[in-house]
A and B are shown apart, each in its own frame.
Chain A
Amino acid sequence: MAASGTDSLYKLRHRPPSDKLVDTGFRNLVMILALMVALILLGIFLVVGGQAWQAMQAFGINFVFSSTWDPVRDVYGAFTAIYGTLLTSLLALVFAVPLGVGTAIFLTEDFIGARVRSVISNMVELLAAIPSVVLGLWAIFVLEPFIRPVLQFIHNVLGWIPFFSTNPSGPGVMPAVLILTVMLLPIITAISRDSLNQVPGDLRQAAYGVGATRWTAIMKVMIPAAISGIIGGIMLALGRAMGETMAVTMIIGNQTTFNISWFAPGNTIASLIANQFGEAGDLQMSALMYAAFVLMIITFFVNVLAQWIVKRLALKYD
């Protein structure tokens, strides 16, 4: 089409076929690799759901509300484990949120020198990396013996309240809650600290300018401005707590019968699976997969809710 004199120039503008082949080939390759994420998620859903099918047919929705877990008669219900999962993670949040957010405020205000603060900050981040099995070991040999007298005292004074009605003796729900708290603290502290740090300094100065005290500024300006990140971090921690397996399995006592007391041994979905999977029979294995499926659904909703909250509550200061 082009004039013959510029023909060679136009030819230069076309890539050789080998280049095109490599280009499209690479594009398709990385696209397939990205697709792997979706395939893995689908695979998890199908495999866990498929293995749970037998138990789903046998027990139906009743599985969630029945607290019978009887491998001898082959009757299974996961209420104890589901209750344990929700109870331990929510109680751990009750302890970890004030401590974590309080520490985050402490680290973002100038109560102490910047150097000390950055040391503490870095330590908190490194602690998030400690494997949960190591925390479990620590809980068995250090934490549980250490807090047992405290729990004993609470039991002696407030034993008439059903939640404290058992004599604390070794593994139980409360030590599990405390070790979960230790695991959640770094997550909540780090995320809250980052969110507070991202609040523009102008906001704080404006608050001081109109005569707010330090804590009025924190409570009325800084925290509301950072709330999306803080709540997102809390939800993330909640998801982590519900799925946490090792530390909890090692210290909760793994009791499949229901007990209202927080000082008695208990169970969570994850610890039930970790504990019984090895020697489970046919239907029992399927029931454990059903429990895993329930856990997956719960954590899925918590995580999606967390993402939604972060997007929804995020205030824009640009």
Chain B
Amino acid sequence: MTSSSVNNPDLLFKPGLLRNQGNRLLTSIACLFAVIAIIPLIAVIAYVLFKGFAFLRPAMFFELPPVPGQDMGGGIGNAFVGTFIVTGLSCLFAIPIGVGGGIYLSEYGGNNRFSEFIRFGTNVLAGVPSIIAGVFIYGLIVSSRILFGSTFSAVAGGLALAVLMLPTIIKTTDEGLKLVPQELRWGALGVGASKFVTTAKVVVPSAIAPIATGVVLGIARSAGETAPLIFTAFFSPYWPDGLLEPMATMSVMIFNYAIMPYEAQVQLAWAASFVLVVMILTMNLLARWISSFAQR
């Protein structure tokens, strides 16, 4: 009985059938697409890491860029420091607003109309092109000289980056807090804690891993942004000279130097790319490492 059904020719796999040939064809197309998609991705990483590393010297972190067209050598010291300062400033603006807004959405707003509107707004803000954030801060702060009469400044750059970081931080905070079990809140309220104490001492600490993940991802994104900085923090070939002065960053340096016809500047652009990419990839790995705690 069984053997006869196994030997039934209608039940055997026939590679020649149209459907099986089509199957093989589509499988090979998918493999081909995957290979085509992965090649440029690997090429970018490999090229930036190898070529950038080849131009990198440890002394570069302590030297200023050379005068274009005059001498070789020089370094990316001012841009390296500037990236930290401008990104740090953007954290100063974006983290309190982002975490606070996320706490409101999850703990107080729930699903009322106002918080749904803010969630929609967060999604819209996440889709705002980065250059729009730049022209917004330019119009608001740089051209109006509202900050003590200064025009291009590190603070303006930080604000522009904060606009881009904000949606990431709000979303991850909101979603991280929603994952906290309701029983924890009830337990805290039940033993007499006020809503503020419940939120600050119980709910937020137990969601700290997803919140930190969002913050690190936000920082990683903003550290590499260039478009919002070219009209806000601008560029400067000198060491940082105060927060209300123009400040060099590695991303703007790459942009400015990549199109210069001088070998020294192009080499600095590659070196800065290497440093920037290593920093950003490290932060992304850090974010993954942190979020692995959340899943325990």
Interface, chain A (partner B; CB < 8 A): 15, 19, 22-23, 26-27, 29-31, 33-38, 40-41, 43-44, 47-48, 50-51, 98-100, 102-103, 105-107, 109, 111, 120, 123-127, 129-138, 140-143, 182, 185-186, 189, 213-216, 218, 236, 239, 242-246, 249-250, 270, 273-274, 277-278, 288-289, 292, 295-296, 299-300, 302-304, 306-307
**With contacts A123-B41, A246-B226 known, is A296 near B258, CB below 8 A?**
no
**With contacts A36-B97, A296-B132 known, is A213 near B19, CB below 8 A?**
yes
Residue of B nearest to A27 (CB): B108
Q: Chain B's nearest CB lies how many Å from the CB of A8? A: 15
B27 contacts A44, CB within 8 Å?
no
Q: Which of B96, B220, B227, B251 contacts A274 (CB 8 A)?
A: B227
Q: Chain B's nearest CB lies how many Å from the CB of A266? A: 17
The complex places the Cα of A35 from the Cα of B109 at a distance, in Å, of 12
Q: Chain A's nearest CB lies how many Å from the CB of B268? A: 11
Interface residue tally of chain B, by bracket?
35 or more
The complex places the Cα of A30 from the Cα of B124 at a distance, in Å, of 20
B120 surroundings in chain A (CB, below 8 A): 307
Let me know if B57 is at the binding interface, CB within 8 A. no
B33 contacts A99, CB within 8 Å?
yes
The complex places the Cα of A23 from the Cα of B194 at a distance, in Å, of 7
The complex places the Cα of A278 from the Cα of B234 at a distance, in Å, of 10
Most chain B beta carbons < 10 A, residue from A236, A243, A304, A307: A243
Residue of B nearest to A142 (CB): B47
B143 surroundings in chain A (CB, below 8 A): 51
The complex places the Cα of A22 from the Cα of B128 at a distance, in Å, of 35
**With contacts A130-B280, A214-B27 known, is A302 near B127, CB below 8 A?**
yes
Let me know if B150 is at the binding interface, CB within 8 A. no
B221 surroundings in chain A (CB, below 8 A): 129
B129 contacts A130, CB within 8 Å?
no
Most chain B beta carbons < 10 A, residue from A30, A125, A213, A306: A30
B220 contacts A299, CB within 8 Å?
no
A185 contacts B45, CB within 8 Å?
no
A185 surroundings in chain B (CB, below 8 A): 37, 40-41
Let me know if B6 is at the binding interface, CB within 8 A. no
B166 surroundings in chain A (CB, below 8 A): 36-37, 40
**With contacts A111-B27, A137-B269, A138-B48 known, is A273 near B135, CB below 8 A?**
yes
Let me know if B180 is at the binding interface, CB within 8 A. no
A137 contacts B132, CB within 8 Å?
no
B33 contacts A127, CB within 8 Å?
no
Q: Chain A's nearest CB lies how many Å from the CB of B6? A: 17
Q: Chain B's nearest CB lies how many Å from the CB of A200? A: 21
Let me know if B20 is at the binding interface, CB within 8 A. yes
B34 contacts A107, CB within 8 Å?
yes
Residue of B nearest to A30 (CB): B104
B101 contacts A37, CB within 8 Å?
yes
**With contacts A215-B26, A307-B123 known, is A102 near B37, CB below 8 A?**
yes
Residue of A nearest to B193 (CB): A19
Residue of A nearest to B231 (CB): A277
The complex places the Cα of A138 from the Cα of B40 at a distance, in Å, of 11
The complex places the Cα of A98 from the Cα of B32 at a distance, in Å, of 11
Q: List 29 A-B contacts (CB under 8 A).
A: A26-B195, A27-B196, A47-B140, A48-B139, A102-B37, A106-B30, A107-B34, A120-B34, A126-B281, A127-B41, A129-B280, A130-B45, A132-B227, A133-B273, A136-B255, A213-B19, A213-B22, A215-B26, A236-B127, A249-B255, A250-B255, A277-B230, A289-B135, A292-B132, A292-B135, A295-B129, A296-B132, A299-B129, A303-B124
B105 contacts A34, CB within 8 Å?
yes
A34 contacts B104, CB within 8 Å?
yes
Q: A34-B104, A249-B255 are in contact. List 15 more A-B contacts (CB 8 A).
A: A30-B100, A31-B108, A31-B109, A34-B101, A34-B170, A44-B133, A48-B135, A99-B36, A106-B33, A107-B34, A134-B44, A137-B254, A140-B259, A299-B127, A300-B124
A31 surroundings in chain B (CB, below 8 A): 104, 108-109
A27 contacts B195, CB within 8 Å?
yes
The complex places the Cα of A133 from the Cα of B227 at a distance, in Å, of 9
The list of the 6 closest CB pairs from A to B, nearest first, reads A243-B129, A131-B224, A102-B33, A33-B100, A303-B127, A30-B104
Q: Chain A's nearest CB lies how many Å from the CB of B111? A: 14
A274 contacts B230, CB within 8 Å?
yes
Q: Chain A's nearest CB lies how many Å from the CB of B226? A: 4
The complex places the Cα of A299 from the Cα of B123 at a distance, in Å, of 12
B117 surroundings in chain A (CB, below 8 A): 38
Residue of B nearest to A125 (CB): B284
